[in-house]
Amino acid sequence: MPNRRSRSKKETKQAQKLVPLEAQTINQKEYIRSIVENDVVFCSGPSGSGKSFIAAGIAAHHLHRGEIEQIIVTRPLVCTGKDIGSLPGELGEKIAPYLLPMKENLKFFLGQSFYGYYDNDGAIQYKPLEVMRGSTFHNTYMILDEAQNCTVDQIKMFITRMGKNSKVLINGDVNQDDLRGRSGLQVCIEKLGQIEGVGITKLTYEDIQRNGIIGKILNALEN
């Protein structure tokens, strides 16, 4: 489906100047391949393994090339222990602090100038998961972060917001859920992997590209 957002020749050329997305490990390469080949992709992995970084990178490049019209980023707020209505500020202000890591990832690939352009134009939006029911997003990369804190019903609701020419990327760490019950992310990974168009990728401590000692520490504490 063609993008309704008009692009000048200058903008088209500038799309080549974004920070390139390069996989650093075999698993990260597999995650990128899965996003390219599937409509809905689940990725589980420890903090720092690249799941959110890669999702932001691919979405940023597709937006800048005019292949989609917007990027929607969301996450559950279960870890705050508060109802969203009790948080201060407007809707966007309520969730902004919790989505700062994804915002920084998008800025990394787009650069400050282009990020500001798309943000002001409404092409990059941060929405609380709790208020997305009833919406449909066409020509969109829909990114759900921290999905280990989602129930199955929340993930179902999120996926069914998907319109034409859209992709759904659902990331989290099944070993870090704050739910009292079973993580919806784990259930979806177990039950949906055989469906055509659904991709499942698992990143490990070996995929962590921050300080090398982080993976060793996390592995020791969680095993």
| 95-118 confidence digits (pLDDT tens) | 777 788 899 999 999 999 999 999
**Token pair for residue 49?**
């393994």
Does pTM top 0.75 for this prediction?
Answer: yes
**pLDDT given at position 2:** 43
Paired residues of 200 in beta bridges? 42
pLDDT of residue 89: 61
Quote the pLDDT of residue 117: 94
**Res 96: pLDDT:** 72
β-strands 167-172, 40-44: how paired? Answer: parallel
Q: Is 126 exposed, middle or buried (0-12, 13-18, 19+ CB in 10 A)?
A: buried
Closest CA to 167 of 191, 199, 135: 199
Angstrom distance (rounded) from CA 98 to CA 111? 21
- Residue spans of the chain under pLDDT 50: 1-2, 4, 6-7, 9-10, 12-13, 15, 80
Contact between 60 and 123 (Cβ < 8 Å): no
Which pLDDT value is given to residue 132? Answer: 87
pLDDT at 56: 97
Predicted pLDDT of residue 212: 60
pLDDT value at position 130? 79
70-74, strands of its sheet edge to edge: 124-126, 70-74, 140-144, 167-172, 40-44, 198-202
Tens of pLDDT along 156-165?
999 999 999 9
- Is the distance from CB of 29 to CB of 23 less than 8 angstroms? yes
Give the model's pLDDT for residue 217. 73
Separation of alpha carbons 163 and 177, rounded Å: 28
Sole residue written with tokens 């300080």? 211
Written out in words, the top-level CATH class of the domain with range 61-192 is alpha beta
* Domain spans, the chain: 61-192
pLDDT given at position 6? 47
